[in-house]
Structure 1
Amino acid sequence: MRNYVPIQAPTIENPSSDSSYTYQEYLPSPLLTPYVACYWTLDYQASSLQQPLHRILPDGCVDIIFNLKARDASTSGFITGLMSSYEAMRLTQDQSLFGIRFFAETVRPFIHYPASDFREGPVYLEEAWGLDVNQLNEEMVAALDSAHRMELVERFLMGVLGRSNVRTEPLLEHSMQYLYAAKGRITVRALAEKLNYSERNIRRTFQKELGVSPKVMTEIIRFQNMLQELHQAKPTRFSDIAARYGYYDQPHFINNFRRLYGMSPKQALK
Structure 2
Amino acid sequence: MDYQTYKPHPDLESLVKYYWTLKVPFDPKNQKQKIIPDGCIEMTFNFGDKIKRYISESEYIFNPSAMVMGQRTKSYFIEPVGNVDTFAICFYPYGFANFVNTPLENLVDQETPIKYLFNEIQANDLEQSIITASNTKERIDIIETFLLSKLNEETTIENIVKNTVDSLISTNGSTPINIILKDELSKRRQLERHFKKQIGISPKQLGKVIRLQSTLQMLLNKKSETLTDIAYENEYFDQNHFIKDFKEFIGITPKEFLDNENMVLSSLFYK
- TM-score, normalisation: structure 2: 0.79
Find out whether 1:54 has 2:33 as its counterpart.
yes
Q: Is the Cα contact below 8 Å between 1:80 and 1:121 reproduced in 2?
A: yes
Identical-pair percentage: 27
1:228 to 197, 217, 237: 217
Find out whether 1:108 has 2:88 as its counterpart.
no
Counterparts in 2 of 1:1-270, with a 5 A limit? 21-46=1-26, 48-69=27-48, 76-119=65-108, 121-130=110-119, 131-161=121-151, 163=152, 165-193=154-182, 197-234=186-223, 236-270=225-259
Deviation at 1:101, TM superposition (A): 0.7
Q: Is the Cα contact below 8 Å between 1:62 and 1:115 reproduced in 2?
A: no
Deviation at 1:49, TM superposition (A): 3.2
Root-mean-square deviation over aligned CA pairs = 2.6
For structure 1, which segment, 193-202 or 256-265, has the greater mean C-alpha deviation from structure 2 after superposition?
A: 193-202
CA distance in 2 between partners of 1:168 and 1:110 (Å) = 11
Query: SS at the partner of 1:83?
Result: coil
Deviation at 1:64, TM superposition (A): 0.9
Q: Is the Cα contact below 8 Å between 2:40 and 2:90 reproduced in 1?
A: yes
Q: Is the Cα contact below 8 Å between 1:68 and 1:140 reproduced in 2?
A: no
Q: Is the Cα contact below 8 Å between 1:55 and 1:88 reproduced in 2?
A: yes
- Report the count of equivalent residues: 245
Unaligned regions of 5+ residues in structure 1, if any? Answer: 1-20
Q: Is the Cα contact below 8 Å between 2:178 and 2:184 reproduced in 1?
A: no
Q: In the superposition, relative to structure 1, how do residues 147 and 261 fare at CA in structure 2: closer, same or farther (>3 Å)?
A: farther
Q: Is the Cα contact below 8 Å between 1:64 and 1:78 reproduced in 2?
A: yes
Q: In the superposition, relative to structure 1, how do residues 195 and 145 fare at CA in structure 2: closer, same or farther (>3 Å)?
A: farther
1:23 partner amino acid: Y
Query: SS at the partner of 1:243?
Result: helix
2:13 partner amino acid: T
Query: SS at the partner of 1:132?
Result: helix
Query: SS at the partner of 2:81?
Result: coil
CA distance in 2 between partners of 1:119 and 1:150 (Å) = 26
CA distance in 2 between partners of 1:49 and 1:123 (Å) = 28
2:8 partner amino acid: P
Q: Is the Cα contact below 8 Å between 2:104 and 2:196 reproduced in 1?
A: no
Q: Is the Cα contact below 8 Å between 1:54 and 1:91 reproduced in 2?
A: no
Name whichever structure is richer in helix by fraction: 1
- TM-score, normalisation: structure 1: 0.79
Unaligned regions of 5+ residues in structure 2, if any? Answer: 51-63, 260-271
Deviation at 1:119, TM superposition (A): 1.7
